[in-house]
Amino acid sequence: MNKKTKLFVLFIFLIYLFLFIFSFKGVKSPSIFLTLLFSGIIFEIITIAIADFSGSSIKLTGGIIVNILASSLLSPAETMLIASTSVLIPRLYKIKNLPPIKFIFNASQIGLSAFVASVLFRTLSTGDPLWNIPVIFLIAFVYMSLNTFFMATILWLSSSTNLKEAVSRTFSTPFFSMMTLLPVCAVVYISYFYIGFVAIPLSLALVLSIQIGNSYKRKYEDLRIENLRSLAKSLEEKDFYTRGHSERVAEIARKIAHKMNLPSKLVERIYTAALLHDIGKVGIPDYVLNKPTTLTKEEFEIVKEHPIKGEAILKEIGRFRFKEAKWVRHHHERWDGKGYPDGLKGEEIPLPSRIIAVADVYEAMVSDRPYRKALSKKEVIKQLKEMKGTALDPRIVDILLEIIEGEGK
């Protein structure tokens, strides 16, 4: 951990200590405090796997729910203490394997987020539980925003990630996933005023039901993805020359993405999209796909439909709906704007689509085809250089050329 990161952690820890020391007036209601503390620890242990708006999966803890309820019932200092303690205790078994500064950061940032939420509730609360529901939504939003801000800052300071990318990665995935818990926070708050602390085990049951539901949904989607992979593979098995094409394209795309230092999760998502990039060909007649001679203009127009068909198929899979489906749609776009189906050009084309396009072209060059043998390394390099800035992204072509040269040594 670099010096800037340590200074940032020290800074928020000192703010945490200052606020706690000068605002803590003791525990006014031990029964409520201990109940919420115990519930917070339990909720921190339970993770909720949620498919986010980008289509990937992220794990959250139910501790958010308890911290928001504590913000509405206890003083800011008590809320801070509950949030920090409940996030630390379940992780004590990791203390030998993780540096203490990580524990300090987690406790401080979650405590500060809870403190601000509690102060905000006291400022805006009307006294009527029903009228306070919008306030609960607001403080939960602020709590989650602060939490995400701290995570973005630590990511920016502790890695080679620039500020824009750090904000994008934290606010586009964890933040929007946390937003799905906003209604749960409101339900738990209003339930507390009608049925008391029974609301907490009921909310635990609600969290568990979300977890179970998401688990079954994910298993169902996993099965559908495996079916799609099998379908794509069987499609290629019909033609000796394209057998294994998608798998090879996926491996090449993965190598390129790794070389570009993209986040590991994004690399794997690009790999999966590349594996399924030709899935839309299941909707193309066999006589067109397997035609050994040159396609007519009408037949080529039919083939050009496969990225659109592929997008439609992948949109049926929840986690592929917002990213992979789009990447597959655009994998035949050209850098100069002369590709299909939408005629996008340059950086209008999604980066993963550009990576898949380069991998697809390269794999076709190094494989036998009915009308020619695989090209030599020299010819492949020559043609790739000719396609730089016209059909293909020049930067990605350069990266592929580095990989080719490196593998040849």
The domain boundary residue, chosen from 182, 216, 250: 216
Whether residue 271 sits in one domain with residue 145: no
The count of domains in the chain is 2
Q: Provide φ and ψ at 136, rounded to 5°.
A: -60, -45
What percent of the chain has a predicted confidence (pLDDT) above 70?
A: 82
The domain boundary residue, chosen from 183, 216, 249: 216
Q: Are 207 and 62 in contact (CB under 8 A)?
A: yes
Q: Are 35 and 73 in contact (CB under 8 A)?
A: no
Whether residue 273 sits in one domain with residue 125: no
Domain extent at residue 165: 3-216
Please give the structure tokens belonging to residue 192.
């507390």
- Pick from 3, 8, 178: which is nearest to 104 by CA? 8
Other beta carbons within 10 Å of 303:
18
CA 272 to CA 383: how far, in whole Å? 27
Give the DSSP per-residue string, 344-392.
Answer: --GGGS-HHHHHHHHHHHHHHHTS-BTTBPPPPHHHHHHHHHHHBTTTB
Query: At 317, which amino acid appears?
Result: I
Whether residue 330 sits in one domain with residue 290: yes
Q: Provide φ and ψ at 391, rounded to 5°.
A: -80, -35
Other beta carbons within 10 Å of 346:
13
Which one is predicted more confidently, 147 or 202?
147
Q: What is the CATH number of the domain that holds 152?
A: 1.10.1760.20
pLDDT in tens, 209-244: 766 776 677 777 777 777 777 777 666 655 545 667
Please give the structure tokens belonging to residue 369.
């085809």
Whether residue 182 sits in one domain with residue 41: yes
Whether residue 130 sits in one domain with residue 100: yes
- 196 Rama class: left (phi>0) / alpha (psi -120 to 50) / beta: left
Whether residue 250 sits in one domain with residue 109: no
Residue 166: predicted pLDDT = 67
Please give the structure tokens belonging to residue 227.
């079916």
pTM for the model stands at 0.60
Q: What is the CATH number of the domain that holds 365?
A: 1.10.3210.10
In a domain, 223, yes or no: no
Q: Of 207-211, 271-275, 304-308, 340-344, which gets the smallest average pLDDT?
A: 207-211
Residue 2: predicted pLDDT = 76
Other beta carbons within 10 Å of 293:
7
Whether residue 311 sits in one domain with residue 195: no
Whether residue 205 sits in one domain with residue 264: no
Average pLDDT value for the chain: 83
